[in-house]
Amino acid sequence: MADTTFTDQNFEQDVLKNNLPVLVDFWAPWCAPCRIVSPIVEELAKEYEGKLKVGKLNVDENPENASKYGVMSIPSLIIFKNGHPIKTVIGAQGKENFKKAIDEALSA
H or E element, residue 107? helix 95-107
Active site annotation includes 31: yes
Of residues 102 and 108, more confidently modeled: 102
CA pair distance 3, 21, nearest whole angstrom: 16
Tell me the per-residue pLDDT of 31-40, one tens digit each, with 9 for 90 and over.
Answer: 999 999 999 9
CB atoms < 10 A from the CB of 4, how many? Answer: 18
Active site annotation includes 34: yes
Average pLDDT of the chain, as a whole number = 95
pLDDT at residue 108 in the model? 82
Tell me the per-residue pLDDT of 41-51, one tens digit each, with 9 for 90 and over.
Answer: 999 999 999 99
Tell me the per-residue pLDDT of 7-40, one tens digit each, with 9 for 90 and over.
Answer: 999 999 999 999 999 999 999 999 999 999 999 9
Considering 2, 22, 24, 34, which one is annotated as catalytic? 34
The dihedral of CA 86, 93, 100, 59: what is its sign?
A: positive
**Is residue 56 predicted with pLDDT exceeding 50?**
yes
Considering 15, 23, 31, 52, which one is annotated as catalytic? 31
H or E element, residue 96? helix 95-107
CA pair distance 35, 30, nearest whole angstrom: 8
- CATH numbers and ranges of domains, the chain: 4-107 (3.40.30.10)
Cα separation values, 15 from 6, 19, 61, 93, 95, Å: 8, 9, 17, 23, 22
pLDDT at residue 3 in the model? 67
